[in-house]
Amino acid sequence: MYHFRAFHLTLLSSCLATLLLTAGCQHPASLPSTWGIPAYEVDGDLLSIPVILIADNQLHHLYGDPVWLRSGFTNQFVPVAIRPVQLDFYAPDILKWIIKSYGKNKQVIHLGDALNIACTVEFDQFKKIMSKSGKGWVMAPGNHDFNYFGNGHFALSQWEKACKTGDGQGKTMTKDLFVKAYLDVLSTQSTQHENFGFTNADHVDRHDWEAAPGDSSFVSGVWWNIDKESPWRSFIVQRLNLTLPQQASDSSGKKASVTAILLDTNQYEYRPRLIPFLSVRNSGLTGEFLDDQISVVEGLLKQKEPGDVIVIMGHHPYHTLSQYSKDTLARWRQDYGIQLYISAHTHTAQYFVRKSNDVNWLELNIGSTTDWPPELRTLTVSDASSGQAAFRMARIPLHVEWERTQLQNCLSDWEVKTDQEDFYINYRKLETPDPKKTQIKLMDTLLQSYKRLLKNVNSKTNNKKGWPDETSSDQEVLQKIQDALKDKQDLDMKLELLRELSIFESIRVVDNEDVQENFHLCQAIWASKYDLEGARAPNVDDAYILIPRR
Amino acid sequence: MPAWVFHKPNQELRFVVKFFADSEDAAAKVSWLVKRGETIKPGIELATLTWGDGRKKVLKASRGCEGEIAVLNRRIKYENLDKYPSQWALRIRDSV
C-alpha cells in the first residue's frame, strides 16, 4: 500500500514538474461523440470528386556553389541540411512515379515544399514533372518553396550561390517570384474552364480571378498579392471546387457543394530569418498569415450555405502557426463550421485531434513523398445517412505499394553497401565546417552513383542524345567520371561534368527503360529508408533478411 | 468488358483491373445495394459504381455468382482498382 501510494506521489510530482515545463501529463484530445471513426466505408451518395494529396517532395538543386548551411559541421546540428545525394538525385523519380500511377485521372493537390533550397531551377523541374498529371495540379505554398532552405529570407548572397547553374540562369525563388511563377503555371492548366484571361505581365497589378457563376472549374477562384518590396508579405489563396458533377440532390432539391480553400501559411509580417526573435519568425518553425489574406478567406467563408462542406488546407500544422493565426483558424472553424484542416510539413503521416474554444476537432497531416515512409492520400467526401459528412482519406504508403512492384525489381547488386565509398548515408560522417570540402565529397558520391547507374543501365549503342563532351559511349563516360573522381580539388570541373551527366541521363536512349526507371526508384528507396534508420538496418516492415550461416 | 467477374474456386466476385485501367475516369465509390446474408443470383443488381465525374454504373451479379452473401468489401481501395492484383468485392458463403 505504501509503495503504491509512494509510486503515485512520485508519478504525480513528476507530472506536475513536467506540466510546468512542457504542459505535459495531459490526456490526448478525443473527438466528440458526434464524430464517427468507422472501420469501413458508410453508405451514402458521393458528394465530391476524388483528389490526390501529396506534399514535401523537396526537389533539391544539387549543382550550386558550396554554402555554409550545407557543410558537414552544420549538418550535425541541422539534421535535414543534407540528405543522401542519391535521394536528392533520384527522389524526383518517386514524384514522377506517383503522378504516372495515381495522377492520370485525378486532380493533384500539393500541400507545399515542392522545392528545397528555393531556386527557380527546382521549380522548373517540379512543374515539368507535375505537367504529366492528367487533370492538372494545384499547390498551397510551403516554407521551402521561397525561403532559403525553408528558413527565411536572409543570406541572399549564399542563397544565390546555392541556386547557381552552369548557364547562369539559376535564380533564387523569393516569395514574390514564386507567386508569379505559380500563377503562370496555373493560368495555363486545364484546372479551370476559362483561362485567367490576362497575360502573365498583369499578375502584379491584378489581385484576383474568379470563375464565372455556374462554371464548374476545379480552380474556382484565386486571390493574391505580390509585394516586391517585402516579398514575404506576398500571398496566394485558392478556392477549389471539389463538388461532384451530376451529384444527387437532397430531399429539398439542394446539392451540397464541397469546397477546399488553399491557405498560404507562409505570409509574414516581418522578414523571416534563421534565428527567430519575438515576431520575427523562422518559417520552418512557425507559419503565419496576415490580415489582408484573412479578409479574403473570410469573404469566401461567408458564402458558405448550410450543408456545404468546407475544408481548409495549408502547409503548416495548426500547432506550428503563430498564436494570431491559430486563433483565426479556430474562429473560422467555429463560426463557419469548417469540417477539416489538412496540413503537411512534418513528413510524418498522422492525425491530430485539436482543441480550441473548448471544442475538439480534426487535422489530417500528410507525410512526405520523399522521406521514409513516402506516402500520398486520396480524398473524397460522401453524404452519410446520419447527417454527417463522410470523409474518405485513404493513405497510400508507397513502400507497401512497391512491395508488389518496384521493390521486387530492386536487384541486390544495385544497392550500395556500407563498405563502399558512396554508401547512402556516409554524408553523416562529414564534420568539416568547410562547405567546399563537403560539396566535393557529396559530388564525388554522386559521380560514384552515376558509375553504378551506367554499369547497370546501358545506353543503346546507337544513342545519339546527350553525350557529355568528348564522349560517345558508356565506357568513355565512365572513364571521364573516373578521371573526375581522381581529382580531389576541382569542384567546378566535377559540377560541370555532373550537369552534363544530368542532361545525358534525362535524354539518353537506354537498352531498357523499365530497368532505368527501376534503378532510379530503387536508389531513392534505399537512400530514403537508410536515412530514416540512420544505418543500413531493416525497417519494421521488412520481411526478408538474409543471414550468413557458419 | 465487365467491371467484375466471379471467381469460382474462391467463391468471390473480383474487380477486373483492365476495366478500370482502360477507363478515362477514376472509380470513386461503390455503394452496395445488397446486404450480408441476402441470397443472390446472376443478374441481380448488387452495387452502384460512381465515377469521378459523377457518372454511375449499376453492377450486377455475374455468371456463377449465386448463393448467400458472406461478406461485402467495404474497404475497397478505389485508387488501386486499375492496378494489379485485383481486389475482391463480394464473397459467397461456402456451401461445403
Contact call for residues A140 and A132 (beta carbons, < 8 A):
no
Q: Report chain B's C-alpha Rg in angstroms.
A: 13
Q: Are A363 and A317 in contact (CB under 8 A)?
A: yes
| Claim to verify: residue A254 and residue A324 sit in the same structural domain | yes
8 Å CB contact of B25 and A378: no
Q: Give the closest residue to A354 by CA, choosing from A335, A368, A367, A341.
A: A341
Domain that holds residue A496: 420-533
Q: What pTM does this model have?
A: 0.94
Out of A46, A52, A105, name the one closest to residue B50 (CB). Answer: A46
Q: Per CATH, is B4-92 categorized as 2.40.50.100?
A: yes
Tens of each residue's pLDDT in chain B, 96 residues: 999 999 999 999 999 999 999 999 999 999 999 999 999 999 999 999 999 999 999 999 999 999 999 999 999 999 999 999 999 999 999 754
Other beta carbons less than 10 A from residue A386's beta carbon: 10
Distance from CA of B36 to the nearest CA of A (A): 14
Find chain B residues with C-beta within 8 A of A44's C-beta: 31
How many beta-carbon pairs under 8 angstroms link A with B?
60
- Please tell me whether residues A153 and A124 are part of one structural domain: yes
**B contacts of A46 (beta carbons < 8 Å):** 28-29, 50, 54
Residues on chain B touching A190 (C-beta within 8 angstroms):
none
Closest approach of A380 to chain B, Cα-based (Å): 8
- CB–CB of B23 and A105 under 8 A? yes
Spell out the domain ranges in chain B: 4-92
pLDDT for the residue A259: 97
Question: CA–CA distance from A83 to each of A58, A179, A421, A448, A478 (Å)?
Answer: 11, 27, 16, 16, 25
Q: How far is A50 from chain B (nearest CA, A)?
A: 6
Q: Provide the shortest C-alpha distance from residue A124 to chain B (in Å).
A: 28
Q: Chain A contacts of B19, Cβ < 8 Å?
A: none
**Record: contact B23-A378, CB cut-off 8 A:** no
Tell whether A247 is within 8 A of chain B (Cβ). Answer: yes
Residues A391 and A424 in one domain: no
**ipTM computed for the complex:** 0.96
Q: Which of A403, A428, A458 is the last residue of a domain?
A: A403
Helix (H) or strand (E) holding A512: none
| A64 & A98 share domain | yes
Measured distance CA(A499)–CA(A52) in Å, rounded: 32
* Chain B residues touching residue A245 (CB < 8 angstroms): 53-54
Name the residue of chain A whose CA is nearest to B84's CA: A404
Strand duo A258-262 + A235-241: pairing? antiparallel
Q: Is residue A181 part of a domain?
A: yes
With a CB cutoff of 8 Å and minimum separation 6, the contacts of A408 are none
DSSP A148-175: BTTTBS--HHHHHHHT--TTS---B--H
Among A333, A323, A396, A390, smallest CA distance to A363 is for A333
| Contact list, A106 vs chain B (CB under 8 Å) | 26, 52, 79
Query: What H or E segment, with its residue span, contains residue A461?
Result: none
Is A105 within 8 Å of chain B by CB?
yes
CB contact under 8 A, A247 and B54: yes
Query: Hey, is the C-beta of A43 within 8 angstroms of any chain B C-beta?
Result: yes
Residues A310 and A452 in one domain: no
Q: Are A235 and A226 in contact (CB under 8 A)?
A: no
Domain stops at, among A403, A437, A461 = A403
Smallest Cβ–Cβ distance between B75 and the set A40, A49, A404 belongs to A40
Q: Which of B79, B80, B81 to mutate to test the interface with A (most CBs of A within 10 A)?
A: B79
Each residue's pLDDT, cut to its tens digit, for chain A (550 residues) gives 334 343 344 444 544 555 555 554 568 899 999 999 999 999 899 999 999 999 999 999 999 999 998 988 888 877 668 999 999 999 999 999 999 999 999 999 999 999 999 999 999 999 999 999 999 999 999 999 999 999 999 999 999 999 999 888 889 999 999 999 999 999 888 777 777 766 665 666 778 899 988 888 999 999 999 999 999 999 999 999 999 997 766 656 677 899 999 999 999 999 999 999 999 999 999 999 999 999 999 999 999 998 899 999 999 999 999 999 999 999 999 999 999 999 999 999 999 999 988 889 999 999 999 999 999 999 999 998 777 899 999 999 998 888 877 677 899 999 999 999 999 999 999 999 999 999 999 999 999 999 999 999 999 999 999 999 999 999 999 999 999 999 888 999 999 999 999 999 999 999 999 999 999 999 999 999 999 999 999 998 888 999 999 8
The answer as to whether A275 is a domain residue is yes
In what helix (H) or strand (E) does residue A267 lie, and over which residues does it extend?
none
A243 to chain B, closest Cα gap in Å? 10
Compare all CA atoms of chain A with the CA of B55 and give the residue at the minimum distance. A246
What are residue A381's phi and psi, to 5 degrees? -125, 135
- Determine phi and psi for B48, rounding to 5 degrees: -115, 125
Shortest alpha-carbon distance between residue A37 and chain B (Å): 13
Assigned domain for A367 exists: yes
Q: pLDDT value at position A167? A: 86
Which of A41, A102, A105 minimises the CB distance to B52? A105
3-class DSSP state of A203: helix
Looking at the fold, whether A498 and A399 belong to one and the same domain comes out as no
Contact assignment for B53 to A101 by CB distance below 8 Å: no
Neighbours of B96 (CB within 10 A): 4
The two beta strands, B45-51 and B56-60, are antiparallel
Would A548 be classed as within a structural domain? Answer: no
> CA of B63 to nearest chain A CA: how many angstroms apart?
26
Same domain for A435 and A387? Answer: no
Helix (H) and strand (E) counts in chain B: 1, 8
Q: Nearest CA to A294 among A258, A319, A259, A330? A: A330
Residue A80 inside a domain? The answer is: yes
Eight-state DSSP code of residue A251: T
Could you tell me if A386 and A465 lie in one domain? Answer: no
In a domain, A41, yes or no: no
Chain B residues within 8 A of A390 when measuring between CB atoms: none
Residues A333 and A194 in one domain: yes
User: Is-contact A240 A262, C-beta < 8 A?
Assistant: yes
Same domain, yes or no: A343 and A441? no
CA distance A347 to A147: 18
- Give A483: exposed, middle or buried? Use CB within 10 Å, 0-12, 13-18, 19+: exposed
DSSP A48-91: B--EEEE----B---SS---GGGSHHHHHHSTTS---HHHHHHH
Tell me the pairing of strands A258-262 and A137-139.
unpaired
Cis peptide before A373 (omega within 30 of 0): yes
Is A351 part of any domain?
yes
Interface of A with B in 333-372 (CB under 8 A): none
Judgement on whether residues A329 and A427 belong to the same structural domain of the protein:
no
> How far is Cα A501 from Cα A497, in angstroms, rounded to an integer?
6
Residues A76 and A111 in one domain: yes
Of B23, B52, B74, Cβ closest to residue A106: B52
Distance from CA of A106 to the nearest CA of B (A): 7
- The answer as to whether A29 is a domain residue is no
Tally of structural domains, chain A? 2
8 Å CB contact between A137 and A104: no
| Per-residue model confidence (pLDDT) at position B67 | 96
Q: CB neighbours (10 Å) of residue B78?
A: 24
> H or E element: which one contains A241?
strand A235-241
Which residue, chain included where needed, has cell 530569418?
A273
Residue with cell 518496384: A406
CATH number, domain containing residue A248? 3.60.21.10
User: Of how many residues is chain B composed?
Assistant: 96
- Residue A245, chain B, CB below 8 Å: the answer is yes
C-alpha cell at A478: 565512365
